[in-house]
Homo-oligomer: A and B are copies of this chain.
């Protein structure tokens, strides 16, 4: 699926939050996970900018660990602010989807 970029604005960050929330993980693995999920065109660069933003905004706790197969990995876990942000994200998502459903059905 092409041309999703604009529609992913704000959403992709939520996806990353959700992935981190379900398991402490790192950028490269998050990218693979997103690709697996069907966000096939998402590349490392995109995910890393999101991760740096999350870190800057104080939503995650970061731990650096050696990798064994490459440079050290930066593992990300949600802190309280991150969990709150994730909840807000899903609330917004539900809000928007409900409006869109209504619109689609001629409401």
Interface residues of A (CB under 8 A from B): 1, 3-11, 15, 18-19, 22, 37-39, 88, 90-93, 95-100, 102-104, 106-107
Contact = CB atoms under 8 A, between A and B. Distances in A.
Given A37-B99, A93-B100, A7 B4 contact: no
Contacts of A102: 37-38
Given A4-B92, A7-B10, 20 more contacts: A1-B95, A3-B88, A4-B95, A5-B10, A7-B9, A7-B11, A7-B92, A7-B93, A7-B96, A8-B10, A9-B10, A11-B96, A11-B100, A19-B103, A37-B99, A37-B102, A37-B103, A37-B107, A38-B102, A39-B99
